[in-house]
Amino acid sequence: MKTGQKLSIKEDKSYYMTMTVVNWVDVFTRKNHRDVIINALNYCQKEKGLVVFAYVIMSNHIHMIANTKEGFLLKDAIRDFKQFTSKKILFQIQNEPESRREWMLRLFSEEANESAKHTTYKFWQAGNHAIELFSEHFVWEKLNYIHNNPVTAGLVKQAHEWVYSSASNYQDMESVLAVHILPQRMITF
């Protein structure tokens, strides 16, 4: 891929993607903001055809393996997800207790000033760094990376202990978001 070339999301493929808050601001250290993400993912699964196979919410980014059901486009589901979550989280930052309010809003405002698409605040970095799943090995590599992200960051000792991850789903444990479990021998490419 050439530098600067946009990666388009094909409608019939699954992708590993990363969505990052501008300036890597640690927004998701707050439960209320993580819950917005979970609720939005749940909504997108029910109403936008989003199929989530794996995810993790870290302090300033989200990793996910996903595609969409027939009749839906992944790019549309992710666009709507990002638009909704940015508005909802910005509303929370402005209206709920937040010790870092002024600092975060200043950073989001500065990012908006650099963007032709945003007027007041820009919450998410542009793009999703989507990588098409091209082999079974790559899928399991990314799934393990997603689930071990909180362990590597020193947040938990075992992946399934991180509440905001699909690792518990893969251990057949209680989870905050239902996902489609990938079987060990699963994908035809």
- 16-34 pLDDT, tens digit each: 999 999 999 999 999 999 9
Structural domain harbouring 45:
15-170
pLDDT at 2 exceeding the cut of 80: no
Q: Is residue 138 part of a domain?
A: yes
Q: How confident is the model at residue 47 (pLDDT cuts 50, 70, 90)?
A: very high
Q: pLDDT value at position 118?
A: 84
Q: pTM of the full predicted structure?
A: 0.90
- 73-122 pLDDT, tens digit each: 999 999 999 999 999 999 999 999 999 999 999 999 999 998 888 889 99
Nearest CA-CA partner of 19 in 59, 63, 65: 63
Distance, CA of 158 to CA of 143 (rounded, Å): 15
Q: Is residue 44 part of a domain?
A: yes
At 2 the three-state DSSP class reads coil
CATH number at residue 114: 3.30.70.1290
Distance, CA of 63 to CA of 106 (rounded, Å): 26
Q: Is residue 180 part of a domain?
A: no
Q: Is residue 58 part of a domain?
A: yes
Q: In what order do the strands lie in the sheet with 50-57?
A: 50-57, 61-68, 15-20, 131-132
Mention every residue, 6+ apart, whose C-beta is less than 8 A from residue 112.
118, 119, 120, 121, 122
Q: How many domains does the chain have?
A: 1
Q: Is residue 187 part of a domain?
A: no
**Phi–psi pair at 9, nearest 5 degrees:** -90, 120
Q: pLDDT value at position 184?
A: 67
Q: Is residue 31 part of a domain?
A: yes
